[in-house]
Amino acid sequence: MAASPRSDKPFLSDIQTIRKRARAHMERGAVTDSYTLDRATVLKLLNEALATEIVCVLRYKAHYYLASGINAKSVAAEFLEHAAEEQSHADRIAERITQLDGQPNFSPDGLSGRSHSEFVVPEDLASMIEENLVAERIAIDSYREIINYVGDRDTTTKRLLEEILAVEEEHAEDMKTLMENFGQKGEPAKPGSAGGKKK
């Protein structure tokens, strides 16, 4: 009787070895000995991504509340939708950080320094759209670099970041379309004087 083809391709690790490894360092949760990336570097990159998403939420929210002018209603609605999606990204990244036995850094101290994008609130609607497009382009490049670093050595983080990247690319296209439409309408809008404008 011919040997089963399965016997020619043994499982990567003996099941007893896998069970033994699983019981070691249980306090590390999902992080097992087979995790070969520098975890400290991955956590640092993820916390920078978290800060970037939080700053994006704050920027979109500020733009939403300060937007005014003829075309402001539809543009502000886009800002609010993006703010909610960026918040969802932040939540998912924070969850992944805890899965990797790290601590999500939500501290407001140094938030802008950890973020790859900036918190800029211009005085006119067209510039708000432009700032959001710039921020989305920064996020796209940042996520691509992190994905390249992680590669296939952390497929869960890679898949998460690829999903977020796809949404950031949609956001960039949305802002590009708004900017093009806005230019055609010649919107002269300025936000009202209420609410401080920050850079």
Q: Which tokens go with 50? A: 């978290």
CA 94, CA 53: separation in Å to the nearest integer? Answer: 10
Binding-site residues sit at 53, 89, 136, 168, 171
CA 28, CA 25: separation in Å to the nearest integer? Answer: 6
Q: Are 132 and 174 in contact, with CB atoms under 8 Å apart?
A: no
Binding-site residues for Fe cation sit at 53, 89, 136, 168, 171
DSSP, residue by residue, the chain: -PPPHHHHS--SS-HHHHHHHHHTTGGGTT--TT--S-HHHHHHHHHHHHHHHHHHHHHHHHHHHH--STTHHHHHHHHHHHHHHHHHHHHHHHHHHHHTT------STTHHHH-SS-----SSHHHHHHHHHHHHHHHHHHHHHHHHHHGGGSHHHHHHHHHHHHHHHHHHHHHHHHHHHHHHHT------S-S----
